[in-house]
Amino acid sequence: MTSTLIIGATGLLGSELAKASARNGDRLHVLVRPATAGNEERLRLLKELGAKIHVGDLDDYDSLVRAAGAVDRVISSVHVDSASEMTLVRALRDAGVSRYVPSAGFGLDFAAAAPGSIPPLDLKRDVFSAIKEADLPYTVIYTNGFFSTWVATLGDLMRFGSAPLPPE
């Protein structure tokens, strides 16, 4: 039986990933921030799924190594900055996970834009460079743009991640 750590399992996408992992028969592990660990309402679904809950933070290398060291693979569904993502990549390499599905792999392929033209895609490019340098086995799931991103920008990648919703 495979064990899977879901990072971001209390969020919309992460909770769906946790449910799918449990349906798949995986031993489910989740990483939650200290502030979330005491919130029974946010943890209820995860406990119902039989998840082992690890308390940690993406900026806390030691907590990441402890959680990742208990599993075979890690799926991240959180939107993080480059420093947090690089800490996570280092921790997963050092913990020896067999597969990583990075949050940077959801959404658009960074190859959709030239380097330096769209900062969020440059972050993805940097993350994948770090993953490759770490020789970390990974899987990418390009979903194209999430609807909320496209509605907010009306498909204009130059406004990616920074625009309010358009008027009615």
Tokens of 153: 């920008």
Q: Which helix (H) or strand (E) holds 43?
A: helix 40-48
52 among known catalytic residues = no
| Helices within 71-160 (DSSP H only) | 82-95, 119-133, 147-153
Question: Which residues, at least 6 apart from 5, have a Cβ–Cβ distance to it below 8 Å?
Answer: 29, 30, 31, 54, 67, 68, 70, 71, 73, 74, 75
Q: Which residues contact 114 (CB under 8 A, 6 or more apart)?
A: none
Catalytic residue among 19, 47, 52, 124: 124
Q: Are 97 and 74 in contact (CB under 8 A)?
A: yes
The residues annotated as belonging to the active site are 124
